[in-house]
């Protein structure tokens, strides 16, 4: 208390219950809290009465709401929102070979821009403040990130079929955009997957990552079939390919998308990794493709963080990370045959600190604590579907929905207030995108950008 | 067209896309449709321009929205909303014996009333127009149904531990409330389950059902453990118990909740049933308890309809039937190892006609067609998470959420308009309920209302 001598804060959020982490990273809830934000950073999280006198540019009265760290979508292809629902109820190889990869051969930068913009609108509405994107025409996605105000971890995807130019383009993108949008953009090298990028190319990518201090984000061991095919073809699993090409020894780490095909013999390989390793899990799509799910419990035992993700909307149908959080809890119980495993609090740990670590932002976001960037989401739990509250963690994970997010804040800037989007014009984006869909989805040309993994002949 | 001579319609909904069923019960969508409602009944579903001249008391402009048959929650315990989140991350036997059944020994009619009212608010907001409820103090639930405007299929639950009075009370309730609330209430006899109601009691229930033309709604074969325990104790499965006590030969049918423990040998038993049999599936809770899921594909082969359900909020955490629809599609693909099974259109068939049949209302609700009761839900698909639309069925099942329901109509009466609830005061209900929670959740007395099924010694 006492005289306030510092300049006005930028934002003060008052009266909320805050989700915080204790010293053992346990989830705790502090009632009647005020959060003070200055220059994009959380300055304090404390009793509301102590901040009543803080001068501030903006004040949000959040009584009856819960402040949680912004959700992080640890693996998506945001522009694929344009293809939401285009390939339903079919196996992965048909999805890739017969629909998605033929359609993606039509893709233009304009399609990417409109898809990414709509994706950002969806994510802001769903309480997502940061996303890890792995796609093409990523210059365009970076521009959309700058414009919409989200935080993002971006990588330009490449296949070995593109020759060394693919890798070089990915590097050029990563270096040029690193730290862009006022620091909200971080970058990664983004080889597609071990079955589309050969060992020479992966080893060269690891070398570039070391040389330039960049992380790597790729698909690996997406399904059990991919693991079996890799064993049949190369005698090693996709995870062993990552090890032998040097990708498990990067200072800035490697982010593995999916990993539902990680087998027991992969665990010691991941455990002896000399650089940070994380896995992004998008459980909805695994159910839809009838794949197994990410072995979260085994990964926990060896200390590998598992972040939450949605994959692209063409397979997942939404970018709803809140749903990924609930499904992670539900599917893990079912997969392990253990209702005590993956409690609501564990799900919240995945959604916060583990997701931040997965995208290399473990020190910057993922918790509401002084010094962290102010990526904050306010959730309204007054609806009939979230009352009464016997256990706030359970209410957040199992009863609340992404549509209960009222306010989304990134770097202290309000991107959605009371469900009104402030940085995206959805109707205009939808209108423009609709005009492009006929050309985008035409498959009469018979081309595809790549061939899906098949068992060796 | 031409001169309108009939009296004014009660409600005309214009400009929507309507989900209808073709002659083979396939899902179809008709754009720019108008729905005319008179005296609680759908009079016509046709081209918008033909109804422009129809005089009507009320007109809803639903351009850009999809009209779907109101969702049906085929098995719930609505008052258990009061216990949402009270017993998390534990096996079923602990959930029953250590928390739920001790707490339910405190239950008062006031608790039931407030829980049911909050449940009705949640269901109306989620596009549910009818629910099958199986609980205690059902007079109170019937009063809440009358007051809130929903349709309901109600049964007073009983255990054999209550003696013959339990069964008699269930009958008395069913006879007294049959056809109440202007016909919106139908009733059933409601024995709890074969492991809590003995064969003599079940056979007497079947006899009463035949005598009075009533259906029966009960839990059976909820989990594989229950099936195994029944086999060990009685040498027959719970489904065989239903057969030998006459419950599979009722003219008005039997509604089986869950059935995740239905085994292959039960299928011919169900197939030779001489009365209607249906199963209600609530997939969220099965994941949470690490149970198997309802064998929907096997039940389909033998012609048993499977309706969608949520069970009570104490296990399911929500009464979100929209989520049950999506989870049915996802979990069935995973359980059968087949991404082609349970398409979005099949999920919509479960949500509409199969759910209506499950609660004995197959001729009255479940489709938007002339002569059906006007239980209609209007869904807004203009949000960024539901655009663009390549496949309307997939958008509804996999991208839309219960929060996209804008308007809920039962028997032609609007219960929610543009997300504003018209028949429930949520804040007052929550406030009153909160005051009762300490007394309701006290377990210091050491009592419980019943003992959960355990393997025989």
Nearest CB partner across the interface for A384, out of B121, B284, B334? B121
Q: Do B385 and A126 touch (CB under 8 A)?
A: yes
Q: Report d(CA A399, CA A395) in Å as an integer.
A: 5
Task: Flag whether the pTM goes above 0.95.
Answer: yes
- Which pLDDT value is given to residue A6? 65
Residues in chain B: 457
Residues in chain A: 457
Neighbours of A292 (CB within 10 A): 15
Closest CA to A255 of A214, A211, A225, A296: A214
* DSSP secondary structure, B376-426, as one string: EEEEE--SGGG-S-S-HHHIIIII--GGGEEEEEETTEEEEETTEESS--H
Partner A contacted by B125 (CB < 8 A): yes
Residues in B touching A79 (Cβ below 8 Å): none
Write down the H helix ranges in B71-181: 92-94, 101-104, 109-125, 138-148, 164-177
Size of interface A-B (CB pairs under 8 A): 190
The residue in chain A having the minimum alpha-carbon distance to the alpha carbon of residue B331 is A287
Secondary structure of residue A59 in the 3-state scheme: strand
- Which pLDDT value is given to residue A451? 86
- For helices A426-441 and A109-125, the axis angle rounded to 10 degrees is 140
Q: Do A89 and B339 touch (CB under 8 A)?
A: yes
Q: Report d(CA B127, CA B377) in Å as an integer.
A: 6
- With 0-12 CB in 10 A as exposed, 13-18 as middle and 19+ as buried, what is A22? exposed
Check whether the bond before A388 is cis (ω within 30° of 0): yes
- Which pLDDT value is given to residue B457? 63
Inter-residue contact A20 to A45 (CB < 8 Å): yes
Inter-residue contact B208 to B167 (CB < 8 Å): yes
Neighbours of B235 (CB within 10 A): 8
The residue in chain B having the minimum alpha-carbon distance to the alpha carbon of residue A123 is B385
- Return the HEC string of B277-325: EEEEECHHHHHHCCCCCCCHHHHHHCCCCEEECCCCHHHHCCCCHHHHH
Question: In angstroms, how far apart are the furthest CA atoms of chain A?
Answer: 77
> Position of tokens 């020894």?
A249
Using 70 as the pLDDT threshold, list the residues of chain A that sit under it. Answer: 1-6, 457
User: Could you give the ipTM of this predicted complex?
Assistant: 0.96
Residues in B touching A427 (Cβ below 8 Å): 382
- Which pLDDT value is given to residue B417? 98
Q: Which residues contact A76 (CB under 8 A, 6 or more apart)?
A: A119, A131, A132, A133, A134, A309, A310, A311, A312, A319
Q: DSSP letter at A127?
A: T
Secondary structure of residue A288 in the 3-state scheme: helix
CA angle centred on A396, ends A279 and A57, rounded to 5°: 95
Q: Which residues contact A268 (CB under 8 A, 6 or more apart)?
A: none
Q: Report d(CA A27, CA B39) in Å as an integer.
A: 53
> Position of tokens 């139908």?
B186
Residues in B touching A81 (Cβ below 8 Å): 387
Nearest CB partner across the interface for A287, out of B89, B334, B441? B334
Q: DSSP letter at A373?
A: B
In B290-302, which positions are buried (b, 16+ CB within 10 angstroms) versus exposed (e)? bbebbbbebbbee
Run of H or E including A328? helix A321-336
> Position of tokens 């769903």?
A126
* DSSP secondary structure, B4-72, as one string: --SPPEEEEEEEEEEEEE-TT--EEEEEEEEEEEETTEEEEEEEGGGGTT--EEEEEE-TTEEEEEPEE
- Return the HEC string of B239-285: HHHHHHCCHHHCCCCEEEEECCCCCCCHHHHHHCCCCCEEEEECHHH
Inter-residue contact A193 to A230 (CB < 8 Å): no
End-to-end Cα separation, chain A, in angstroms: 74
The residue in chain B having the minimum alpha-carbon distance to the alpha carbon of residue A114 is B388
- Which pLDDT value is given to residue A29? 98
Q: Do A387 and B320 touch (CB under 8 A)?
A: no
Closest CA to A283 of A223, A328, A350: A328
Q: Report d(CA B114, CA A326) in Å as an integer.
A: 27
What tokens were used for B364?
A: 């009255």
Q: Which residues contact A68 (CB under 8 A, 6 or more apart)?
A: A19, A127, A348, A352, A368, A376, A377, A379, A396
Q: Do A430 and B330 touch (CB under 8 A)?
A: no
Partner B contacted by A389 (CB < 8 A): yes
Using 70 as the pLDDT threshold, list the residues of chain B that sit under it. Answer: 1-6, 457
Q: Report d(CA B79, CA A452) in Å as an integer.
A: 50
CA angle centred on A11, ends A9 and A14, rounded to 5°: 110
- Which pLDDT value is given to residue B2? 42
- Which pLDDT value is given to residue A156? 98
Chain B interface test: which of A91, A98, A314, A317 (most B C-beta within 10 Å)? A317
Q: DSSP letter at A398?
A: I
- With 0-12 CB in 10 A as exposed, 13-18 as middle and 19+ as buried, what is B85? buried
Q: Report d(CA B269, CA B39) in Å as an integer.
A: 42
C-alpha torsion sign, points A400, A290, A82, A350: positive
Q: Kindly calculate the radius of gyration of chain A based on its CA atoms and give it in whole angstroms.
A: 21
Inter-residue contact B378 to B67 (CB < 8 Å): yes
Q: Do B125 and A337 touch (CB under 8 A)?
A: no
Chain A interface test: which of B85, B313, B348 (most A C-beta within 10 Å)? B85
Q: Do A383 and B125 touch (CB under 8 A)?
A: yes
Closest CA to B279 of B25, B72, B92, B75: B75
- Which pLDDT value is given to residue A2? 41
What tokens were used for B310?
A: 């949520």
Partner B contacted by A214 (CB < 8 A): no
Q: Rounded to the nearest 5°, which phi and psi values hold at A357?
A: -65, -40
The 10s digit of each residue's pLDDT in A315-359 is 999 999 999 999 999 999 999 999 999 999 999 999 999 999 999
Partner B contacted by A297 (CB < 8 A): no
Q: Report d(CA B148, CA B139) in Å as an integer.
A: 14
Nearest CB partner across the interface for B399, out of A84, A290, A336? A84
- Which pLDDT value is given to residue A51? 77
Partner A contacted by B338 (CB < 8 A): yes
Secondary structure of residue A37 in the 3-state scheme: strand
- Which pLDDT value is given to residue A5? 53
Neighbours of A77 (CB within 10 A): 28
């Amino acid at each position: 208390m006492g005289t306030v001598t510092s300049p006005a804060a930028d934002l003060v959020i008052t009266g909320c219950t805050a989700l915080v982490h204790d010293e053992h990273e346990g989830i705790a809830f502090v009632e009647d809290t005020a959060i003070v934000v200055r220059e994009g950073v959380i300055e304090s999280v404390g009793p509301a009465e102590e901040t009543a006198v803080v001068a501030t540019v903006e004040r949000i009265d959040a009584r009856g709401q819960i402040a949680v760290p912004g959700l992080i979508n640890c693996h998506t292809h945001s522009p694929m929102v344009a293809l939401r629902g285009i390939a339903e109820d079919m196996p992965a190889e048909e999805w890739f070979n017969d629909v998605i990869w033929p359609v993606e051969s039509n893709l233009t930068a304009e399609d990417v821009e409109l898809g990414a913009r709509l994706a950002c609108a969806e994510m802001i509405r769903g309480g997502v403040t940061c996303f890890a994107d792995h796609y093409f025409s990523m210059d365009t996605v970076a521009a959309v990130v700058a414009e919409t105000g989200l935080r993002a971890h971006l990588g330009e995807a490449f296949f070995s079929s593109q020759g060394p130019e693919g890798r070089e383009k990915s590097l050029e993108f990563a270096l040029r955009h690193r730290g862009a949008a006022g620091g909200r953009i971080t970058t990664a090298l983004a080889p597609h997957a071990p079955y589309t990028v050969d060992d020479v190319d992966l080893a060269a990518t690891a070398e570039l990552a070391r040389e330039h201090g960049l992380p790597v984000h790729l698909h690996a061991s997406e399904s059990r079939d991919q693991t079996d095919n890799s064993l049949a073809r190369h005698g090693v699993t996709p995870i062993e390919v990552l090890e032998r090409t040097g990708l498990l020894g990067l200072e800035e780490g490697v982010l593995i998308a999916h990993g539902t095909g990680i087998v027991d013999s992969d665990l010691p390989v991941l455990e002896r990794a000399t650089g940070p390793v994380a896995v992004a899990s998008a459980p909805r799509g695994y159910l839809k493709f009838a794949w197994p799910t990410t072995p979260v419990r085994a990964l926990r035992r060896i200390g590998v963080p598992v972040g939450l993700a949605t994959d692209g909307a063409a397979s997942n149908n939404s970018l709803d990370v809140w749903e990924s959080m609930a499904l992670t809890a539900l599917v893990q119980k079912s997969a392990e045959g253990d209702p005590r495993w993956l409690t609501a609090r564990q799900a919240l740990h995945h959604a916060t600190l583990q997701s931040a670590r997965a995208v290399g932002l473990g020190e910057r976001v993922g918790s509401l604590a002084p010094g962290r960037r102010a990526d904050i989401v306010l959730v309204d739990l007054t609806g009939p579907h979230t009352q009464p509250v016997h256990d706030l963690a359970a209410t957040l994970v199992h009863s609340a929905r992404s549509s209960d997010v009222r306010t989304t804040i990134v770097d202290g800037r309000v991107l959605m207030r009371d469900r009104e989007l402030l940085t995206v014009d959805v109707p205009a984006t939808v209108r423009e995108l609709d005009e492009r869909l006929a050309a985008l989805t035409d498959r009469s040309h018979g081309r595809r950008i790549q061939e899906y993994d098949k068992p060796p002949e």
